[in-house]
Amino acid sequence: MKVCRRITFNSAHRLFNSHWSDEKNLEVFGKCSNPNFHGHNYVLETWIDGPIDQETGYVIDLKKLKDILNDEISERFDHRNLNLDCPEFAELKPSAENIAVVIWNILRSKLETKFSLSVKLWETENNVVEYNGI
């Protein structure tokens, strides 16, 4: 049985590779390499797979998952500049793929090992990524 809680957060980011020239960054990342940053309303679905607890009828209490998501994800990334404010992206480009990996690793450490974990992250209504740790 899989259960999911959806949240949103708003962040600024910029994609660029510090080993490349500005020209190469512009060629590869286009408008995403704007040095002054741009931003997104990210939508995050956190999917947990595990057995139903017979006493509660829940896989996991989604209120508890909501609290974890608030403390670990919204507090860290909402209304932040991912490149400047978040040490997780000091050396890592904040592409949707890398953000999903970072979020997965944070959440994995907060969840019991009996649960499988997958995250789905919308950067825009047309661009989505999904990561399950593999």
* Active site residue ranges: 32, 79, 123
Q: Look at residue 23 and give its three-state secondary structure.
A: helix
Stretch 90-129: interaction string toward a second copy, x if CB under 8 A? --xxxxxxx-xx----------------------xxxxxx
CB closer to a second copy, 81 vs 105: 81
- Contact flag: residue 87 with a second copy (CB under 8 A): no
Query: CA quadruple 61, 65, 67, 68: dihedral positive or negative?
Result: positive
- Rg (the chain; Cα; Å): 16
Q: At closest approach, how far in Å is the CB of 117 from a second copy?
A: 14
Q: What is the DSSP string of 58-82?
A: -SS-HHHHHHHHIIIIIHHHTTEEH
Residue type, 68: I
Q: Residue 10's beta-bridge partner residues?
A: 41
Binders of a second copy among residues 41 to 80 (CB under 8 A) are: 41, 45, 47, 52, 55-59, 61-63, 78-80
Note the residues at the interface with a second copy (CB under 8 A): 1-8, 10-13, 15, 17, 28-32, 34, 36-41, 45, 47, 52, 55-59, 61-63, 78-81, 84-85, 92-98, 100-101, 124-131
